[in-house]
Each structure stands twice: as C-alpha cells, then as structure tokens.
C-alpha cells in the first residue's frame, strides 16, 4: 500500500486558524503581535522566503516590518538596526534572514538579537534553554516537524528516529526535540559509515541534508514515517532529499516537497511571534 501523504499545507492551515483566534484575543487586549524581518542583499530564494513571511504576517493580522538592505550595508548598520528593534515595543519578534553576505558575521548578528525577541530560536540562550528543557523559542523547522508528527498521530515515544543532517538550523535541534519526545535518536551525516544500514533501522526518518533525491527506497524500513526537509532546486523544480515515488511505496507516511515541511516553517515563526506577544501581557 502506498504511503499516506502528510500535507504540511493542511497542518499549517490548522495551526494558523488557532493562531488567528489568539491574535484576535491579543489585539482585543491592545497587543498586536509585531514581526520585523531584516533581509540583506538580493538572493532570490531569500527574497521569496521573506515575501512568504510578510504575507503570513499580514493574513494573521500582525504588525509587519520588512527591512530590505543593500548587500553592501555595513555590519555596524545591521547591528544598529537590531538594537533599535530590540528596544521597539511594537516589535515582538526579530528575524534576520540567512545567509548574510560574507562581510557580516552571522554569529554576531544572532547574538545581538534580544533572546526574548529571537523568534528564530537561534540565539545561544534559546538553544541552551531548549537543550535543558527550559522555556525557549524553538527553531521553526524542527518544531514544525514535531507538530506534523503529533498532529498526524505518530507515536514518537520509544521509537528509533534517525536524523540525516547535522546543521544548527535543522539537524541538531531536530534530534534534540525528538529526544525530548522520548525517541531514541541517531544523527547521521556526510561522514557516516554505511548510512543505509542505519537509516533502515529508522521508525522515523528525517532527511535534512539538502541533496536532491539522496534517500532511496532501499534505505527505508517498510512502514517507516519519512519526513523530507530538503528543499533543492533541480532544473527549476523544487524537490526534496527523498526519491518521493519509490520511497512512498515503502513508507507508511511521507511528506511531499513542496507542500510538506515548507509551509510549517513559516507557521511556527508566526507561532513564536504570538508566544512572544503573549509574554508581553505578563
């Protein structure tokens, strides 16, 4: 039987409906969630992601600011803008779209954001809090994956989850969030010896390497849940890290690309911004 497809669009729409009602309640109390996005340079993919964030913000009734800066802007000017936004009470969330041009330090920029407004969950304070189970803004993509699993009634507890990829944005926090859900977690990466032998043990397989179609059917245990985080452009078409057609004949549940994890990332950013605005009530 072919795998059931988890629609990220549907799960995202469900969460956005929940958020919309929270935004209405907050606005009734005089607090409109505010999100500021800083975009440096003219990378077309980044521009498209930022457009998506702006559209979602407006649809949910947020206050939205997009700061589009020239690629040649100095690091000092970016840090000064972050400092201004840190002190702006209209703004509950600040996101600096990555990657940044080479002359601007991502590390410095991330650390300059007030952790209470770090809706990306990239600041070391939020990363540390997440690791020890303290309240934190969770990084949007891995948090979105957890939401998709839970809302598709996937039982995570005790299962062997294999994460392919070890990036700071997806792989590492993904493994940690699965561990927090009581999965037994293995992280694989480009240096892993005999990768298929490990992926074949996965009850839940998360592919987050950014290599088009690298996960083939023979790497997947029959009945596994496969989440494809990959976003790769091949001949102008978006494809994931999995060979969708063949893997979906082996898996029990699978996410498509596009329309899988992608819509969840923006939704969890909106979720974090609402959480931040809620904190300002206290």
Rounded to the nearest whole angstrom, what is the least distance from the CB of residue 139 to ligand GUN in the complex? 7
Of 66 and 98, nearer to ligand GUN (C-beta) is 98
Order of strands across the sheet that contains 34-40: 63-69, 34-40, 93-96
Q: Catalytic annotation on 153?
A: no
Is 176 designated active site? no
Interface segment toward ligand GUN; rule CB under 6 A; list 89-97, 101-109, 158-166, 271-279 = 89-97
Cα–Cα dist 161/170, whole Å: 14
Q: Should residue 149 be labelled a site residue for ligand GUN when binding is judged by CB under 6 A?
A: no
* Two structure tokens written together for 184: 């037994």
Catalytic residue among 117, 118, 120, 147: 120
Residue 195 C-beta: closest distance to ligand GUN, Å = 24
- Name the phi and psi angles at 35, rounded to 5: -120, 125
Query: Considering beta carbons, is residue 33 or 121 the nearer one to ligand GUN?
Result: 121
Find all residues with CB under 8 Å of 57, minimum gap 6, and list them: 35, 64, 270, 273
Closest CA to 57 of 28, 86, 34: 34
207 has which bridge partners? 164, 228
Judged by CB under 6 A, the residue of 95, 145, 149, 162 near ligand GUN is 95
Site membership for ligand GUN, residue 35 (CB under 6 A): no
Catalytic residues: 53, 97, 120
Q: Catalog residues that contact ligand GUN under the rule CB under 6 A.
A: 95-98, 120, 140-141, 169, 265
């Amino acid at each position: 039987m072919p795998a059931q497809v988890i629609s990220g669009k549907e799960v995202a729409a469900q969460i956005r409906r929940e958020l919309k009602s929270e935004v209405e309640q907050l606005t009734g109390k005089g607090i409109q969630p505010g999100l500021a996005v800083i975009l440096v340079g003219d990378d077309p993919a980044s521009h498209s992601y930022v457009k998506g964030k702006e559209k979602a913000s407006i649809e949910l009734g947020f206050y939205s600011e997009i700061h589009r800066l020239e690629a040649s802007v100095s690091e000092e000017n970016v840090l000064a803008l972050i400092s201004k936004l840190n002190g702006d009470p209209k703004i509950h969330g600040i996101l600096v779209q990555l990657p940044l041009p080479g002359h601007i330090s991502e590390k410095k920029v991330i650390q300059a954001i007030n952790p209470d407004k770090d809706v990306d969950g990239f600041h070391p304070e939020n990363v540390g809090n997440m690791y020890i189970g303290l309240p934190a803004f969770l990084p949007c993509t891995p948090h979105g994956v957890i939401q998709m699993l839970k809302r598709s009634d996937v039982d995570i507890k005790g299962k062997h989850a294999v994460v392919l990829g070890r990036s700071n944005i997806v792989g590492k926090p993904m493994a940690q969030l699965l561990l927090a859900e009581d999965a037994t977690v293995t992280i694989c990466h480009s240096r892993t010896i005999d990768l298929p032998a490990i992926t074949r043990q996965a009850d839940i397989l998360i592919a987050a390497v950014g290599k088009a179609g690298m996960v083939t059917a023979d790497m997947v245990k029959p009945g596994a849940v496969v989440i494809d985080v990959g976003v790769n452009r091949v001949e102008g078409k978006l494809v994931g890290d999995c060979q969708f057609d063949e893997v979906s004949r082996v898996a029990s549940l699978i996410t498509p690309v596009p329309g899988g994890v992608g819509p969840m990332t923006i939704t969890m950013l909106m979720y974090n911004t609402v959480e931040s605005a809620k904190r300002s009530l206290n």
